[in-house]
């Protein structure tokens, strides 16, 4: 599976547009088990910052950037959860 757009220091797994026009940058994390906090625990502040940097790089070419959101999809074994607005771009 190919990675999404890359920027110096980061990449975005998926970029999708929500029905309301919001551009959604999605980080996908997979763990076989929930041990050590599971997939959600792997979304550290440093990882969030790398996703933010990649998103900013992606948006540089947009004349008028749309509203944006950062979501996370966590997969622990057979369980999948999509977390809307998991973090913001204030970091």
User: What pTM, to 2 d.p., does this model score?
Assistant: 0.83
Whole-number Å distance between alpha carbons of 66 and 73 = 22
Q: How do the domains of the chain map onto residue ranges?
A: 6-87
Instruction: Give the C-alpha distances (Å, rounded to integers) separating 86 from 8, 35, 44, 60.
Output: 22, 21, 12, 22
4-46 pLDDT, tens digit each? 555 555 789 999 999 999 999 999 999 887 777 789 899 999 9
CATH annotation of 6-87: 3.40.1350.10
């Amino acid at each position: 599976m190919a990675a999404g757009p890359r920027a110096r220091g980061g990449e975005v797994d998926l970029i999708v547009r929500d029905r309301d026009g919001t551009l959604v940058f999605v980080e996908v994390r997979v763990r076989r088990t929930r041990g050590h906090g599971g997939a959600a625990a792997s979304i550290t502040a440093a990882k969030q910052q790398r996703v933010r940097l990649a998103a900013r790089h992606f948006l540089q070419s947009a004349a008028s950037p749309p509203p944006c959101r950062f979501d996370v999809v966590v997969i622990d074994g057979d369980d999948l959860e999509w977390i809307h607005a998991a973090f913001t771009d204030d970091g």
